[in-house]
Amino acid sequence: MDLDPEDVFKDEEDDPDNEFFQQSESSKEYVVYLVDASRKMFSTTCPGNDQKDETHFHTAVSCIAGSLKTQIISRSYDEVAICFFNTREKKNLQDLNGVFVFNVAEREHLDRPTARLIKEFDCIEESFMREIGSQYGIVPGSRENSLYNALWVAQALLRKGSIKTADKRILLFTNEDDPFGSLQDAAKKDMTRTTLQRAKDAQDLGISIELLPLSRPDSEFNVSTFYADLIGLDGEDLAQFMPSASQKLEDMKDQLRKRMFTKRVVRRIGFHIANGLSIELNTYALIRPTVPGAITWLDSVTNHPLKTERSLICEDTGALIQEPPKLFQPYRNENVKFLPEEIAEIKRISPGKLRLLGFKPLSCLKDYYNLRPSTFVYASDQEVVGSTCIFIALHRSMLKHNRFAVAYYGASNHPQLVALVAQDEITSAGAQMEPPGMHMIYLPYSDDIRDDEEIFPDTEEDAPRADEDQIQKAAALIKRIYVKDFSAFQFANPALQRHYAVLQALALAEDDIPETTDETAPDEEGLTRPAVVRAAEAFKHSVYGDSYDEESDMGKEKMSEASRKRKAIAENAAKDYDWGNLADKGQPYLERIQLNNSR
Amino acid sequence: MARNKEKLVLLLDVGPSMHGVLSEVEKLCSMLVEKKLIFSKYDELGVVVFGTEESKNDLTTEVGGYQNITVLQDIKVVDGDLVDTLQKLPRGRVDGDFLDAIVVGMDMLIKKYKDLHKGKKRLCLITNAIHPIKDSFEGSKEDQVMTIAEQMAAQGMKIESIVVRGRLSRDANKGVMDENDHLLSIFSKKTLTRIVYVDTPTSLLGALKTRRVTPVTVFRGHLELSPHMKIKVWVYKKTQEEKFPTLKKYSEKAPASNKLATHQVKVSYEYKSVDGSSTSVIPPEQRIKGYRYGPQVVPISTAEWDAVKFKPEKGIKVLGFTDASKIKRHCYMKDVYLFIAEPGNTRATLAVSAIARAMKEMNAVAILRCVWRQGQQNVVVGVLTPNISQNYKIPDSFYFNVLPFAEDVREYQFPSFNSFPASWQPNDQQQKAADELVQMLDLAPSGKEALLPEFTPNPVLERFYRHLELKAKQPDAAVPPLDETLKNIVEPDPELVAENKSVFDALHRHFELRQNPKLKKSSRQWYQEKQSGSNAHVSSGQAVNSIENQPPVKIEKIGDLTPVQDFEAMMSQRDNPEWVEKAIKELREKILALLIHSDEGDKYQKAVECVAALRKGCILEQEPGPYNDLMHHIRQYCEEKGIKSLPQLLASRDLTLISKSEAEDSDVTAEEARSFFVKMEPKPDV
């Protein structure tokens, strides 16, 4: 049986709406990761996971490694270069001192990430000191300026391609806020000036330079010392830049990770609030299912890609059809024909616009009013000045009065009634957890909603309802398996992880396929803790009396080997512990989930 | 197939008090048949109308009584004629008796099917139920209804009632309505069906599910709370989008003489290897699938893939419970599932009920990991939320929404609103104006929620099926405009807007929008590319688009399709002052052309929209001259031709001369402007 990879990841009846996130080659990004490799990056540590200290260098490198892995899956047309500065060895086309461009075989310096790059970069720290080495490149009495050199090399790497078709960025990781601090006045001034000029030249060429500063709880990275000028921050921006220095390493990593993405606008739309009052919004696809890439057919003899040719053939005559055919629907014993333009015309209702219809209390937004992933909207003053002001005012009012807006969104392919739900900004330890804005939720129509819960009661009697005791027993059980810190998207998709682990191993011609962990597997151990078992038994007894086992044996499904084993483990676990003692302590349960929280 | 055939009798109240909504009833019922013709061609349908002057039904002939009830169509397999019948329902002259109609409908079903097809026989009653039903000869009305309802249940029939009330039923006697509602509720209880109350024409169109989908379980098995606490559940889809029908491709190659031509098109794929100049077709057995990994394509055979792929075991497991606030509403990924306890399993029903109610009390949700079937190659993680039943006949259940995985989320950062300059922050008055809008433009005033998804029809599908029906009769029929009744789904309700005029006025007073003058050309071009294709839409017939919100698509010429939009777009093109002049001149010509080419005034409405746009544009540009000249011209033209309707239309929209108070250059006083059309004396026809 032939399996289409897109089918593999979807439920039978669904076709995920892919229009939003498919990347095309025309919107690619060129990124140079510029990593400070000075001694200070290795000597400064942060308390990381498991009480083990991490160096800033490690933090930067692991952020980049993580980003490369994401990128090869979701944005594989983007090109990257990895470049260290303040190094002992040098390797770059300009032959400048203190700059080392890291690369692997069969790859240009600025190129798409490959399996080999990911693999070798993963173990860069083992070989770094031996092969590249750390050496601070700006010392008194020398004309060398490693930061200047680094920017120059990065800019040269980014010479490729036109800024019209690609975003070009330099991401600079450093923990040194005063790179010329050791120099005397005149030399310092001079080097500062030339470095700033180099940065400005790059920026004038359309390259954006972004700073990813690393700081420690006891020594805050002071952006205004030098880097504010380099990246062009002033006033409010500057104040916003370093929201909090005393953050945990995990939070800092989180922030770095978020800053490494560029925002991609999906569409710019007009939000029609009233006659003559239409504001400008940008829409963003913050949540879309990631599916494995499309398959490419290969010739199994040569392993060369095959060209797929699709042709339309008339079934009556066998003739090839060139022009886009008409469409038809059999109806009333005949074929009713439509032109493709007519179909487009039928769907065209307030095209490209979002029209406000009114507001409703949030309680009206039922859990089952959902069809597709939501779309995020955020105002823009780029075209229509004043948009943001109205947007903020409406946003505040909607939050204050707990109301959402109902609007009609005239998307050309899929016009739909939508709910706009205001989301307040949520920050935690300086990092933005939820951005401020509105989420557009696609509402179902009457024909999209089913009432299958109403089809079964074919008896005269009322439906059974739990009594107070049963509810209390259920509540006790729920409390035992309660997770305090759950985030909606903390699990990696095990199928996707497996898919790419297999691909990576095969791409590198490795014999063993690495094991991938399924983070979504339940914490069986936690669930068989006596306290949980006892609560479950109590609930079971209150609902089923003594007939539970009978009940479960009636099931048509045979118990699998695995679940029989689990059952045995569970029963043993229950036997071995002192129930009363352990249960009363209310131990935290679900280790796996709790661990994942700190990712 | 055959056993799923539905046998439906429509019972339609066509009495005088229903006349106002009959056109909606016609649309709803014909849509029902139109969809059946496509999706359930073998369903059978009969139509009974009541409230007619004459009587035509078996019972009146056989036993007498049952007056004012007409069987418009005996039960038959659905066909195109039924659509025609339903599109021109008779307007009755008397107030009908819905109970008599129900009995007539039952009689039809019993005669035709005896006691076969239990559960597939359905009655659908559409009435306002504001007139009393006749007293029975023996026993109370209630007893009578009880007897009928029991008989109905015994025959395996169901009845669905759609009761048209609120704004749609005129002043009616509350006592009568309450009595009728009570009687109908007996049917609902006995045959376990619902009564739907609708109070707007829009919701009437959405009240009847026009397409019946046989429910299919996604999963039957255990909901595993822990390895030794499992509840038997069935899982269904709660929402699933009814998609735009997939049309087949049509081939015109076959000669017209070929009566047996299928006109079908086959899509064929050929895989070719391209080596230098030679191409050769590669047979399927020589092909292998390759998966992209960065720039590499990794070949994997199906057998290899099967050996290593992710293979989870079927089952639904609770990973834990958590606070409902942890799961943001916008994280819901897909359409929604429904979890119910295994039907007929009292213990499971109780267990679901207890868990659901405890969750509700604790404001908790459950996180689930689901593998719906063996062999599924992925897992689904999602959130289970309680659904506490309000109907004592219906058990408690759960809804389940799929949540994203880590890979599915882009954590973009957006600026804090506080970080924006003060000029972007709303001031107190602006905030107040926004507050008022959010509170006053209310779609859910005390219990009367408008645009409730359950009762909101899909305007695009409605338009498609209407076009299909039109085309079946006339193959080149144009795409019909959106039905008036459905306008409220895509545009704000004009009544609601009118009620809140002061709120909107305040909004206009306090907020100002303007085009960004500093906008670089390149970004405009970008915008144009993004927007292209959207400027060719048909005008919705309202000159409401403001000049400042038009996308800056370069408009060189005012077209026939959307003259108002084109005009506004052209007026806002600031790169050359000549655009304004050109726009005014072209629209003026367009208006005159519309007048001259109007047949019985059919283009006047469009002309008036153009005039409105021109007037607005001329005031904005302070160019009253061309507009006022045109108005004089129109008045003269109408006087000569004896046209009254156009000046009336213009006057009703206050589209008179531009006065000095509106544009400095005008020499028309406000008084003159006001009386401009009043003074007009059409010449008597010669």
Of A327, A445, A490, Cβ closest to residue B406? A490
Report residue B8 as tokens. Answer: 């439906």
Whether B159 contacts B148, CB under 8 Å: no
Number of DSSP helices (H) and strands (E) in chain A, helices first = 20, 22
Report residue B467 as tokens. Answer: 């076009």
Is residue B221 assigned to a domain? no
Residue finishing a domain among B166, B186, B207: B207
- Indicate if B58 and B164 belong to the same structural domain: yes
Compare all CA atoms of chain A with the CA of B265 and give the residue at the minimum distance. Answer: A314
pLDDT in tens, B557-607: 777 777 888 887 777 766 666 777 888 888 888 888 888 777 777 778 888
Total domains in chain B come to: 3
Using a CB–CB cutoff of 8 Å, tell me whether B453 touches chain A.
yes
C-alpha closest to that of B118 among B251, B7, B277, B272? B7
- Residues 6+ positions from A113 with CB-CB distance below 8 Å: A68, A71, A72, A76, A78, A80, B294
Is residue B146 assigned to a domain? yes
Using a CB–CB cutoff of 8 Å, tell me whether B660 touches chain A.
no
Region of B214 (left: φ > 0; alpha: ψ -120 to 50; beta: rest) is beta
Q: Residue B433 is part of a domain; what is its CATH number?
A: 1.10.1600.10
pLDDT of residue B47: 94
Is residue B657 assigned to a domain? yes
Q: Residue B78 is part of a domain; what is its CATH number?
A: 3.40.50.410
pLDDT of residue B554: 65
CA dihedral A15, A19, A24, A28 (to 10 degrees): -120
Indicate the angle between helix axes B346-362 and A530-544, nearest 10 degrees.
130
Task: Give the residue numbers spanning the domain of B578.
Answer: 563-675
pLDDT in tens, A444-467: 999 899 887 776 555 667 788 999
Using a CB–CB cutoff of 8 Å, tell me whether B269 touches chain A.
yes
Helix (H, G, I), strand (E, B) or coil at A320: strand
Residue finishing a domain among B186, B207, B228: B207
Task: Map tokens 């940065």 to a residue.
Answer: A199
Indicate the angle between helix axes B174-191 and B141-154, nearest 10 degrees.
30
In B18-68, DSSP assigns E strands to 44-50
Is A317 close to B254, i.e. CB distance below 8 A?
yes
Whether A534 contacts A583, CB under 8 Å: yes
Helix (H, G, I), strand (E, B) or coil at A293: coil
For residues B620 and A127, give the distance between their C-alpha atoms in angstroms, rounded to a whole number.
71
Is residue B251 assigned to a domain? no
pLDDT in tens, B181-239: 888 888 887 777 778 888 888 888 888 877 777 788 999 999 999 888 899 999 999 99
- Indicate if B462 and B584 belong to the same structural domain: no
How big is the CA angle at B442 (ends B438 and B443), to the nearest 5 degrees?
Answer: 130
Is B416 close to A423, i.e. CB distance below 8 A?
no
Give how far B364 is from chain A: nearest CA, Å: 9
- Indicate if B78 and B181 belong to the same structural domain: yes
Give how far B430 is from chain A: nearest CA, Å: 7
Using a CB–CB cutoff of 8 Å, tell me whether B380 touches chain A.
yes
For residues A419 and A408, give the distance between their C-alpha atoms in angstroms, rounded to a whole number.
9
Is residue B362 assigned to a domain? no
Whether A78 contacts A92, CB under 8 Å: no
Is A401 close to B435, i.e. CB distance below 8 A?
yes
For residues B570 and A54, give the distance between their C-alpha atoms in angstroms, rounded to a whole number.
61
C-alpha closest to that of B608 among B581, B648, B580? B648
Q: Return the top range by mean pLDDT from A582-586, B262-266, B466-470.
A: B466-470
Is A275 close to B546, i.e. CB distance below 8 A?
yes
Whether B400 contacts B337, CB under 8 Å: yes
Mean pLDDT of B477-497: 88
pLDDT of residue A52: 66
Of B236, B275, B496, Cβ closest to residue A452? B236
For residues B622 and B610, give the distance between their C-alpha atoms in angstroms, rounded to a whole number.
18
Using a CB–CB cutoff of 8 Å, tell me whether B411 touches chain A.
yes
pLDDT of residue B408: 86
Mean pLDDT of chain B: 82
pLDDT of residue B558: 78
Helix (H, G, I), strand (E, B) or coil at B290: strand
Amino acid code (one letter) for B686 = V
In A429-484, DSSP assigns E strands to 431-434, 437-442
Residue finishing a domain among B181, B207, B233: B207
For residues A529 and A522, give the distance between their C-alpha atoms in angstroms, rounded to a whole number.
13
pTM: 0.75
Number of DSSP helices (H) and strands (E) in chain B, helices first = 21, 19
Is A488 close to B327, i.e. CB distance below 8 A?
yes
Is B357 close to A466, i.e. CB distance below 8 A?
yes
ipTM value:
0.78
- Indicate if B609 and B481 belong to the same structural domain: no
- Indicate if B582 and B652 belong to the same structural domain: yes
- Indicate if B198 and B63 belong to the same structural domain: yes
Using a CB–CB cutoff of 8 Å, tell me whether B420 touches chain A.
yes
C-alpha closest to that of A296 among B297, B305, B309? B297
Selected for mutation to probe chain B from A397, A413, A550 (highest B CB count within 10 Å) is A397
pLDDT in tens, A361-383: 999 999 999 999 999 999 988 88
Selected for mutation to probe chain B from A306, A398, A420, A442 (highest B CB count within 10 Å) is A306
Report residue B163 as tokens. Answer: 């009761």
Task: Map tokens 């006033």 to a residue.
Answer: A235
- Residues 6+ positions from A586 with CB-CB distance below 8 Å: A480, A531
Report residue B291 as tokens. Answer: 């998966």
**A197 phi/psi in degrees, rounded to 5:** -65, -40
- Indicate the pLDDT class of residue B403, thresholds 50, 70 and 90: very high
Using a CB–CB cutoff of 8 Å, tell me whether B447 touches chain A.
no
**B316 phi/psi in degrees, rounded to 5:** -120, 120
CA distances from A335 to A338, B34, B211, B463 (A): 10, 14, 21, 18
- Indicate if B171 and B82 belong to the same structural domain: yes
Neighbours of A391 (CB within 10 A): 28
C-alpha closest to that of B44 among B9, B84, B87? B9
Neighbours of B34 (CB within 10 A): 25
Burial class for B222, CB neighbours closer than 10 Å (0-12, 13-18, 19+) = buried
pLDDT of residue A249: 56
Task: Map tokens 């509810």 to a residue.
Answer: A471
pLDDT of residue A370: 95
Q: Helix, strand, coil shares of chain A as percentages rounded to 5?
A: 35, 25, 40
Q: What tens-digit pLDDT sequence spans chain A (599 residues)? A: 333 333 333 332 333 333 333 444 446 788 999 999 998 888 877 665 555 677 889 888 988 888 888 788 777 788 899 999 999 998 988 888 899 999 988 888 888 888 889 888 988 888 888 888 888 878 777 788 999 999 999 999 998 877 777 788 899 998 888 888 888 888 888 889 999 999 998 888 888 888 888 876 667 788 888 888 888 776 656 665 654 444 555 666 666 666 666 667 778 889 999 888 899 999 988 898 887 777 788 887 777 888 888 888 888 787 787 777 788 888 887 888 888 888 888 888 888 789 999 999 999 999 999 999 999 999 988 888 889 999 999 999 999 999 999 999 988 778 899 999 999 998 876 678 889 999 999 999 998 998 877 765 556 677 889 999 999 999 999 998 888 878 877 888 898 888 888 888 888 777 777 788 888 888 888 888 888 889 999 999 998 887 776 555 444 344 444 455 545 544 444 333 333 333 333 333 333 343 333 32
Selected for mutation to probe chain A from B84, B241, B439, B562 (highest A CB count within 10 Å) is B241
Is residue B249 assigned to a domain? no
Give how far B139 is from chain A: nearest CA, Å: 24
Of A289, A347, A445, Cβ closest to residue B457? A445
Is residue B239 assigned to a domain? no
For residues B3 and A237, give the distance between their C-alpha atoms in angstroms, rounded to a whole number.
69
For residues A137 and A135, give the distance between their C-alpha atoms in angstroms, rounded to a whole number.
6
Query: Which chain B residues are within 8 Å of A312, Cβ to Cβ?
Result: 249, 251, 265-268
What is the set of domains in chain A, with CATH numbers? 27-260 (3.40.50.410), 265-450 (2.40.290.10), 468-572 (1.10.1600.10)
- Indicate if B455 and B570 belong to the same structural domain: no
Is residue B40 assigned to a domain? yes
Q: Residue B587 is part of a domain; what is its CATH number?
A: 1.25.40.240
Query: Which chain B residues are within 8 Å of A243, Cβ to Cβ?
Result: none
Whether A157 contacts A81, CB under 8 Å: yes
For residues B43 and B76, give the distance between their C-alpha atoms in angstroms, rounded to a whole number.
8
Helix (H) or strand (E) holding A30: strand A28-36
pLDDT in tens, B111-121: 888 877 777 88
Query: Which chain A residues are within 8 Å of B230, Cβ to Cβ?
Result: 552
Between residues 298 and 327 of chain B, which touch chain A (CB distance below 8 Å)? 298-302, 305, 308-310, 312-313, 317-323, 326-327
For residues A114 and A107, give the distance between their C-alpha atoms in angstroms, rounded to a whole number.
8
- Indicate if B613 and B484 belong to the same structural domain: no
pLDDT of residue A562: 47
